[in-house]
Chain A
Amino acid sequence: MRSRTSLFTLFFAVSVLALPVAAHASIPFFGPVIPAAYNVCPASWGLLLTVVNNVIELLITLAIVFVAPIMIAYSGFLFVVNPVNASGKEQAKKILTNTIVGIVVALAGWMIVDAIMVVLYNPGAESGSTRLETWSNIIGSKGIEPCLPQKGALPGDDLNQSVSTGVSADGGKFLALPSNGNCTPSNLMAATAGSQYALTQSQANTLSCIAIPESSCGNNVSQARQPDGTPTSASGMFQIVFGSGNDTCHNLNIPACSEAAKVNGPLNCYSAFRGGLPRAGKEAEAAACKRAAANLNCNAQAAGCLVKGRNGGFGDWTADPRASTQKNCVTQYANK
């Protein structure tokens, strides 16, 4: 009896530790098994891996969300209907134990594989500075193309490979990259060149595309509001929201930004704003942050900083529910 109590305690502790980790990843996962963005192209190895992952995550989700509660309820049912029947109670205990063990084994197995694969995919990861994503996300963002290239398609153009899109000059992409204005890919690469946040061609293309819905490619836009109408501190071409995080990027703690704001030392924009407005007593710091954010070099490098912080991801611009164009930009230009 004592050993069983210890066993249950152990299971409970492991479950408590395991579930939040699983929740932080992509479990629970309810589909679709085949990503909607890629159901229009012939699958390649990358998409196959993603689908296999999705199937595993779906099965684990079903086990946790549906099977386990049903089995636990069933064991409880057996306990209730067998108040004096020793064999019935024993069967109920066995079902309960097996259910809990099954959940722990399934979750632990998934997490162990995920942890190993995520480390293998990120050999240069550093503690405290590298944000590791789940394995399936890494597969989709580390250069394994999800679609087979088609005959006649432009290089790297794995989607929209038909020729009937009507916009042929840019290879059939729905969202064309600007060739003039401040947010051209070449301007963004020039703005970040030589800094630690230098953009790759693919990242510059993606950000160039993103700059159109974010600010209409303008440097002077700072009136953005959240979906509920409250103001934000979003500023400049990439609408950097100072209050989003107390980190290098959102603080504009970047040499080019200090230079643009004409201040000595690093900026600390996170603490200069509250609720999208300058914090009382911090008006001068807030003004310096706005000044810096309006500068193309500063804003582009802050955007590069955010991309680098997300291991090449663009989640800072796609999280808003209104950001469908930004998501299309990522689909069309990221990792191309």
Chain B
Amino acid sequence: MKWYFIIGSILLLVGVVLFFLFSSSPEVVTTPQPTPGLPIASSTVPVTGGPSSFGTSNTGPTVSFATPSGAVVTVKDFVHNGETVADVQNPGSYVLAGSVGYCLADGTCPEGASTTDFNISYNEKTHFFNIILLSEPLGATRLAAEQFLAGRLGLTGKASCSLNYFVGTPYWVNEAYDSKNLGFSFCPGAIALPK
């Protein structure tokens, strides 16, 4: 009786050990994805910089700046359009759409174009557009952000692809797409998103 008990215990123990030793979850092989539009840390990537130059054309006020390829692009003045607000906590940054995320000491809460679906900011030092998608479905939100930006800049289609930009979404919106530059939907290498 005693030996049955002991042998049974040993067998149970061995079984448990074997179970835990060999029950590791299968390795998930992740295929690296190219990150369109997102400059990769490398000395070969040109860093845009230099001042923006404001001017006027037949269509109204304009602003010109260099793109990552070195070309100069001229777009509608989206900084002084009465809608874009300065991000006073980060000098040189402007918010085109969405909230700046805080209220000033006088109680006012600056906000660019009113939306909670996306946030678009611009850094005039690097001419960098940061487009953050904040609501699902991401495909529709990206489309809305693209249309908004195209309207404010007066750029259409492929011309936007030359901008220095990042389209992303935080992990708390969609963890499957939080590590990538999703790109503009019409640009080469853009990530297809659920509509």
- Complex CA gap A165/B30 in Å reads 10
Please, how many angstroms separate the alpha-carbon atoms of A273 and B90 in the complex?
A: 24
- The secondary-structure label for the interface of chain A is loop
A281 to B128, CA, bound (A): 39
Q: Is the CB of A212 within 8 A of B168?
A: yes
Number of A-B pairs whose CB atoms are under 8 Å? 182
Q: How far is the CA of A217 from the CA of B133 in the complex (A)?
A: 12
A290 at the interface (CB under 8 A from B): yes
User: Which stretch of A12-20, A43-51, A98-106, A172-180 is in the interface?
Assistant: A172-180
Taken together as a complex, chains A and B put the C-alpha atoms of A185 and B68 apart, in Å, by 19
Alpha-carbon separation in the docked complex, A215 to B134 (Å)? 10
Please tell me which one of the listed residues B13, B35, B95, B104 contacts residue A62 in the complex, with CB atoms under 8 A apart: B13
The closest CB in chain B to the CB of A30 belongs to: B20
In the assembled complex, which residues on chain A have CB atoms less than 8 Å from the CB atom of B168?
212, 216-217
**A interface bracket (residues with beta carbon within 8 Å of B):** 35 or more
* B129 nearest CB neighbor, chain A only: A181
Contact status A216-B130, CB under 8 Å = yes
Q: Is B126 an interface residue when CB atoms closer than 8 A count as contact?
A: yes
Please tell me the size bucket of the interface on B: 35 or more
Given contacts A74-B9, A177-B41, A216-B169, A322 and B175 within 8 Å (CB-CB): yes
Task: Tell whether, in the assembled complex, residue A36 and residue B27 are in contact, meaning their CB atoms are under 8 Å apart.
Answer: yes
Q: Is the CB of B24 within 8 A of A178?
A: no
Is the beta-carbon distance between A74 and B5 smaller than 8 angstroms? Answer: yes
Which residues in B have their C-beta under 8 angstroms from that of A219? Answer: 87, 89-90, 93, 101, 121
Instruction: Enumerate chain B residues within 8 angstroms of A288, measured Cβ to Cβ.
Output: 105
Instruction: Output the least CB separation between A267 and chain B (Å).
Output: 13
Measured in the bound complex, the distance between the Cα atoms of B30 and A40 in whole Å is 13
Contact B128 A218 (CB under 8 A): no
Which chain B residues lie closer than 8 Å to A62 at the CB level?
13, 16-17
- Flag whether B164 is at the interface (Cβ < 8 A): yes
Given contacts A36-B25, A70-B12, A212-B179, contact A179 B166 (CB under 8 A): no
Residue of A nearest to B126 (CB): A180
Q: Which residues of B contact A225 (CB under 8 A)?
A: 172
Minimum C-beta distance from B92 to chain A (A) = 10
User: CA–CA, A267 to B126, complex, Å?
Assistant: 32
Question: What mask results when residues 115 to 126 of chain B are scored 1 for a CB within 8 Å of chain A, else 0?
Answer: 010010101001
Residue A90 interfacial (CB < 8 Å)? no
Inter-chain contacts of A167 with B (CB < 8 A): 32, 34-35, 40
Chain A residue numbers with a CB within 8 Å of B87 are: 219-220, 294
- Cα A219 to Cα B48 in complex, Å, equals 20
Bound-state Cα–Cα, A223 to B132, Å: 12
Interface 1/0 per residue, B133-174 and A, CB below 8 Å: 110000000000000000000000000000010101111100
Query: Which chain B residues (6-40) contact chain A, with CB distance < 8 Å?
Result: 6, 9, 12-13, 16-17, 20-21, 23-25, 27, 30-32, 34-35, 38-40
Q: Which residues of B are interface residues toward A (Cβ below 8 A)?
A: 5-6, 9, 12-13, 16-17, 20-21, 23-25, 27, 30-32, 34-35, 38-42, 44-45, 47-48, 87, 89-90, 93, 95, 98-105, 116, 119, 121, 123, 126, 128, 130, 132-134, 164, 166, 168-172, 175, 178-179
Instruction: Pull 13 A–B residue pairs with CB atoms less than 8 Å apart, ordered by A.
Output: A67-B9, A165-B32, A175-B179, A179-B42, A182-B93, A216-B130, A216-B166, A216-B178, A221-B134, A222-B101, A223-B134, A260-B89, A292-B89
Nearest 6 interchain pairs by C-beta: A216-B168, A213-B178, A220-B101, A290-B102, A213-B171, A32-B24
User: 19 other contacts beyond A217-B168, A235-B101, with CB at 8 A cut-off?
Assistant: A31-B20, A62-B17, A74-B5, A74-B6, A77-B5, A170-B41, A170-B42, A178-B166, A179-B41, A180-B128, A180-B164, A213-B171, A213-B175, A220-B99, A220-B121, A222-B102, A288-B105, A290-B103, A328-B179
